[in-house]
Structure 1
Amino acid sequence: MTRSSFPVRPALMLTLAVLSATTAVAHAELRPLIPAISADQVAPLCQAGLASLRQRVIVMEALPATRNAAKVFAEWNRLQIALQDVQGPMDILSNVSPDKATRTAMEACLVELSQFDTGLNQNAVVYAKFKTIKPRDAIDTKLRKDLMDRFEDTGVALPPERQQRLKAILKQLEELGQAYARNVRDNSTRLVFTAQEATGLPADYLARAKRDEQGNYLLGFESPEYLPFMDYADDAEARRRYQTAYTNRGTAANPPMLKEAMALRQELAGLFGLPTWADYVIRRRMAKTPAAVFTFLDEVQVAVTALEKKEIEELRAFKSQTLKTDLASTRIERWDAGYWQQKLKKARYSVDQNALRAYFPTPAALAWIMDVSSKLYGISFTKGEVPVWHPEVQYYDVFDTRSSKRIGGIYLDPFPREGKYGHAAAFGIRGASTLAQRTPVSVLVTNFDRNGLSSDELETMVHEFGHVLHGVLSQTRYVEQAGTSVERDFVEAPSQMYEEWARRKDPLATLASFCSTPCPVVDDALLARLTAAHNFGRGLRYGRQLLYARYDMNVYSLKTAAASSDPLVIWNTMEAATPLGHVEGTEFPGQFGHIMGGYSAGYYGYMWSEVLALDMLSAYQGKLMDPVVGQRYRQAILARGGEKTGADMVRDFLGRTPDSKAFFNEISGQRLQ
């Protein structure tokens, strides 16, 4: 999967023991662990947690009338920590628990916690306390502003009937989002392919594939099964059939859910007198207005369209030459794009993504990125033996090398299994708070091939590890501002920048030293070929990103709930207008989880963030393993979480106003390395 498929989830958590703790300080010295919770334990734990949270709200409400910001912020911090400690196990395990009953039970609890959070943010008494206090410094000022925005966005100032309607809408959206994700996650369909249809696939892929009694291959929707098939299977009709099923894996139930969510979000915006959901969401982000987003997307389209068409023509010519067909009648279909790119890159650059797995064994790649991060940011990782939810999960404590102090922890859940969250994501399950001496924990959830990574998958791993670092290197005063608690159109920037470490010589030079058995080294010649191969296809990649972002903005900028707002109709029309066209019978919106969830009216943020990512990269001046710049970046960006705006943090790091030149060079094919 491309990096654009991987959302950051602001998840939360702690141990069973901590669920009953009464003060934030009590958490300080505990190594926070994710407990193994069975389905029958979920409801009692949930209800006990909610009861404790309600008591904390009473304490918050009972604070004496005061302008003492320290007391108000400290009590709020304790309340948010308590909420994290209840919600965290439910959030992460509802996505990764091997037990379906446990996942389902946790989803029900998450709905109740969502309703609690809505009620808290509609609490006029608590709102009034923040309205009257005077912040002590810039950190308090930023948190107060963010909280006031959130209270007001949740309807604290609305009339009671509108408040209740908003609360009902948010509950419906939570339930719809869970059902939508469940339909994708729990789809265990396996397609049957004959040996003839599997011609061209690597021998190791075929050797581990499941087979039926007749010897046919049984393939599902896990990335290590689907992606190689689309890149290597010679049978175009088999690729079309697999791509169609994969695109429809959300089942026919999901597009109507998305349409219902669109209508609910439109209604929610109307409660505030705003014309669209996009207006409601974007006013709190870096872009500020939908108009600014559409202007940005127009600029992207101008930059990328010619390159996308040029690449398709190159693929078409290569296909015609390879198959010895008439060029005029040769087409590149959507199910051809990955296959013919792979063929062209192998012929032109001698790059075979499957062969690269020997260079990047998965365990070695994980050990390597921890070592790179250690050298760059002055940290170390020590493996710990702790309870885990699956035998393949690993846990590491994170230490600051200068002080030898433990500063956080990470879990790695690298391989696919039935019922697990199906993409790659970093779950920031416990936020930092220096005020509460609270250390952060993040979880890396991926679905990688156990035998090794392609160079594309290596980039994905590094991208997600960048999110993990954003969580565990956070040193924020308040848990509310910890880690990835930044604007949605900035949150991807640190991870997008980190992808470059998967493409450059200095970092990659050490990867082979982590192989358990000898593996080949990425030398200068291979690196040059990998760079050239990576550069080809930029037009197609960014053209697709542009389509996703425009679609998201279009469905959430509608001002009516008319029949024309059907998400499938909009998608089919928009995809049909692209150079590769629309594939009849596919229902991409039924599995586009980003716009059903936290990236609704926000998918543009991937490219918006990349503008900042590529500009921040310039600070390294090509020396990516420079620990001086790494430490400066750690302190200016990663440690600060959401204590400043994204724009201010980037300006602090670069020492100047950010610009977009590097980004537009990248997407238009003008970047040379």
Structure 2
Amino acid sequence: MTANPLLTPSTLPYHLPPFALLRDEHYLPAYEQGMAEQLAEVTAIAEQADAPTFANTIEAMERSGQLLERAKLVFTIMTSTNSNEALRAIEAQVAPLYAAHRDAILLNSKLFARIKALYDAIDEVEGAEEQRLVERYYLDLVRAGAALPQADQTRLAELNRELAEASTTFNQNLLAAMNDALVVVDTAQELDGLSEGEIAAAAQTAAERGHPGKYAISLILPTSQPVLATLTNRELRRRVHEASMGRAAEENAEIAAQMAVLRLERARLLGFASHADYVIADLTAGNADTVMEMLGRITPAAVANAAQEETALQTLAGGVQLAAWDWPFYAEQVRRAEYNVDSATMRPYFELERVLVDGIFFAAHKLYGITVVPRPDLVGYLPEVRVFEVFNEDGSPLGLFLADYHTRAGKRGGAWMNELVSQSRLFGTKPVVVNNMNIVKPPEGEPALLTFDEVNTMFHEFGHALHGLFSSVRYPRFAGTKVPRDFVEFPSQVNEMWATWPEVFTNYAKHYQTGEPMPIELVERFRAASGFNEGFRSTEYLAATLLDLAWHQITEPPADPAAFEAKALQEAGVSIAAIPPRYRTNYFAHIWASDYSAAYYSYIWSEVLDADTVEWFTENGGLRRENGDIFRRELLSVGGSVESLAAFRAVRGRGPSIEPLLARRDLN
């Protein structure tokens, strides 16, 4: 094995991992040595003779595990974006080891005694961020089971190991299913309705995936696939939809049911009635009843809107019974007929590079004064991953931003943000963050032309990136997006507003060939159509949210996962054949392979804050540096070092109101 570059801190700018030197065989040794080192560090902290102080206990804990953190962050990005058989094998081996390692720390009785002593005398700890860190460490250990009897702790560790293994298997099954669910056709004629560029991309995808001479449609993670809006071949639309719905259906549904039961047992061990109660108790919502009350207020109105839309679409479909694979197609027909807007007309004005530079970076510069400069001399984890350096208005360095926008075999679905290096004044580190999406890669030399949904997602994910880049805290536990799960989506959703802000929109929405701005009449039609199909969008999201909560409020094991899902949707009032949930159980990676279990409601909970904040920006002149400075200083920069709703109040001047959201989604 070559010298392992993970074993020492990177010497590259901003401690960017040395991807050019990394090999698959480096990860497992780095994990093993990292866990051994951190366990030794924590043991020394827990067993020292000196009385506990903030410095010798809490800050010492923050300093521990640096090698493990490096290995984990790099390995996570590689398994998410460029997985292969070797990495999947390591992932399966590491998951239970890492779960056991965390339990060895979180259930260390001597460590807990020291932290509890500091928590009990928290007023004697100097500094607001320091006090909050003591509180957070104490709550983390209590929620991990540190106060439980030994027998319960032993069972808890077993549950955590089983859950880690199951989550990894679920994710790997889904990744394989995403590749296998490729929909292949023989002729270009079958792709009628797609643009020439989309057809060329389908030919390239087929060639890359082992089907030369044919055409292949790759799938994105959510149920509804973008091509359904324009494919005229109804049978092909059905194939695409059923391929989407059926991904890993049998194996992952069983794993999900198993995980739900294990999570229920763990929650009860920790003194909660359900996993949902356990999760939400530590989030800004506070309890599951508050979440269900909010969802109960908006779900009936969303379903009623969707029913009106369905009636209109069924009329357009004529004698054909409207199915889930028909809805996007006929909705697109209505959009064209009533608003004179269609996706094919819009795409030439949404070229990826222009959206990124003249849209996303432009808005960030106007609002926050930052500049984003390409760094082609720095190497990402793949050749197509671009590296940018970000500077404050005064020229001081802020961090690095990596962009990875195209789909590929071995890359998980969806869009997300990762940190590769966390900001911390304790270590003197600046942030390195990554945005990932799954935009179909065009043929060589051709531009990537986006749907507006993809444009909006790019703005959203860069909102997460800004949350990480603007972090200004001392302790890594609070850096950037390390905030409650039902708050983390809020800043990124706010950043979506700039996608349609006139000054920004007109700067990037230009024809990729002529450079001409989108005609004003098309802009007006586009804005008029922006609220169209809102019933569908709200209902498919709410169905997934309520499905998540149903799984995590079970009181006994479900006999049949598919029957449980159907019953859950029926009882929640969102069982509409033509509007399946945004994610079904078998490919609901957010809740089975990520950190959103019992918290997928976070998107609409955060949207309450988002809609209210958009109103604040608008009332105060919108894209103004003064507004950006306030939002950055009071909220984005503080990460988790301040209670989240207190940060919101510091910007808004009051607590959140749900009314702006109800108006936005036509739910009044």
User: How far apart in 2 are the matches of 1:666 and 1:257?
Assistant: 37
Question: Among residues 200, 206, 227, which one is paired with 1:207 in the alignment?
Answer: 200
SS for the counterpart of 2:382 is coil
Check the 8 A contact 1:98/1:390 in 2, yes or no: no
TM-score normalised over the length of structure 1: 0.89
1:19 to 2:7 alignment: yes
- The 1:223–1:544 alpha-carbon spacing in structure 2 relative to 1, beyond 3 Å, is closer
Question: Among residues 527, 530, 539, which one is paired with 2:526 in the alignment?
Answer: 530
User: How far apart in 1 are the matches of 2:537 and 2:550?
Assistant: 20
**CA root-mean-square deviation:** 2.7
Within 5 Å, which residues of 2 pair with 1:583-602?
Answer: 588-596=584-592, 597-602=594-599
1:569 to 2:566 alignment: no
- The percent of aligned pairs where both chains have the same amino acid is 26
Check the 8 A contact 2:298/2:667 in 1, yes or no: no
Which residue number in structure 2 is paired with residue 57 of structure 1?
42
1:615 to 2:615 alignment: no
Report deviation, 1:257: 0.4
Question: Among residues 421, 429, 433, which one is paired with 1:438 in the alignment?
Answer: 429
Q: Which amino acid aligns with 2:17?
A: L
Report deviation, 1:482: 0.8
Task: Please identify, of 538-547 and 242-251, the stretch whose mean Cα deviation from structure 2 is larger.
Answer: 242-251
User: How far apart in 2 are the matches of 1:84 and 1:219?
Assistant: 37
Within 5 Å, which residues of 2 pair with 1:360-399?
Answer: 360-368=350-358, 369-384=360-375, 385-399=377-391
Which residue number in structure 1 is paired with residue 150 of structure 2?
160
- The 1:224–1:246 alpha-carbon spacing in structure 2 relative to 1, beyond 3 Å, is closer
Task: Please identify, of 610-619 and 566-575, the stretch whose mean Cα deviation from structure 2 is larger.
Answer: 566-575
Gaps of 5+ in 1: 1-14
User: How far apart in 2 are the matches of 1:412 and 1:492?
Assistant: 19
- The 1:650–1:587 alpha-carbon spacing in structure 2 relative to 1, beyond 3 Å, is closer
Task: Name the count of aligned residue pairs.
Answer: 639
Which residue number in structure 2 is paired with residue 151 of structure 1?
141
Which residue number in structure 2 is paired with residue 319 of structure 1?
317
- The 1:399–1:194 alpha-carbon spacing in structure 2 relative to 1, beyond 3 Å, is same
Which residue number in structure 2 is paired with residue 125 of structure 1?
110
SS for the counterpart of 2:225 is helix
Check the 8 A contact 2:400/2:433 in 1, yes or no: yes
Gaps of 5+ in 2: 442-447
Within 5 Å, which residues of 2 pair with 1:413-428?
Answer: 413-428=404-419
* Deviation per residue, 1:549-608 (Å, 9 max, x gap): 111111111111252xx4321222344654632799x99211011121311111111111
- The 1:215–1:167 alpha-carbon spacing in structure 2 relative to 1, beyond 3 Å, is same
- The 1:107–1:95 alpha-carbon spacing in structure 2 relative to 1, beyond 3 Å, is farther
Which residue number in structure 2 is paired with residue 6 of structure 1?
none
User: How far apart in 2 are the matches of 1:644 and 1:603?
Assistant: 23
Question: Among residues 491, 495, 498, which one is paired with 1:494 in the alignment?
Answer: 491
* Deviation per residue, 1:252-271 (Å, 9 max, x gap): 21100001100100110121
Question: Among residues 479, 483, 487, which one is paired with 2:480 in the alignment?
Answer: 483
Which residue number in structure 1 is paired with residue 290 of structure 2?
292
User: How far apart in 2 are the matches of 1:104 and 1:401?
Assistant: 45
User: How far apart in 2 are the matches of 1:30 and 1:592?
Assistant: 35
Report deviation, 1:66: 3.3
User: How far apart in 1 are the matches of 2:629 and 2:258?
Assistant: 46
User: How far apart in 1 are the matches of 2:321 and 2:399?
Assistant: 52
Report deviation, 1:174: 1.4
Check the 8 A contact 2:482/2:640 in 1, yes or no: yes
The structure, 1 or 2, with the larger RCO (C-alpha pairs under 8 Å, 6+ apart) is 1
* Deviation per residue, 1:88-144 (Å, 9 max, x gap): 111111111254423432453344233212221112222222222233232222222
Check the 8 A contact 1:382/1:396 in 2, yes or no: yes
- The 1:640–1:279 alpha-carbon spacing in structure 2 relative to 1, beyond 3 Å, is same
Within 5 Å, which residues of 2 pair with 1:96-495?
Answer: 96-97=81-82, 99-133=84-118, 134=122, 135-187=125-177, 188-189=179-180, 190-195=182-187, 197-210=190-203, 216-222=214-220, 227-320=225-318, 325=319, 331-368=321-358, 369-384=360-375, 385-402=377-394, 404-450=395-441, 451-495=448-492
User: How far apart in 1 are the matches of 2:618 and 2:462?
Assistant: 22
Check the 8 A contact 1:538/1:667 in 2, yes or no: yes
Which residue number in structure 2 is paired with residue 12 of structure 1?
none
Task: Please identify, of 411-420 and 501-510, the stretch whose mean Cα deviation from structure 2 is larger.
Answer: 501-510
* Deviation per residue, 1:622-662 (Å, 9 max, x gap): 63321110111011111010111221111011111211110
Within 5 Å, which residues of 2 pair with 1:507-518?
Answer: 507-511=504-508, 518=514
SS for the counterpart of 1:396 is strand
User: How far apart in 2 are the matches of 1:656 and 1:335?
Assistant: 44
* Deviation per residue, 1:40-70 (Å, 9 max, x gap): 2222222222222223213322555335324
TM-score normalised over the length of structure 2: 0.90
Which residue number in structure 2 is paired with residue 656 of structure 1?
654
Which residue number in structure 1 is paired with residue 639 of structure 2?
641
SS for the counterpart of 1:643 is coil
User: How far apart in 2 are the matches of 1:45 and 1:54?
Assistant: 14
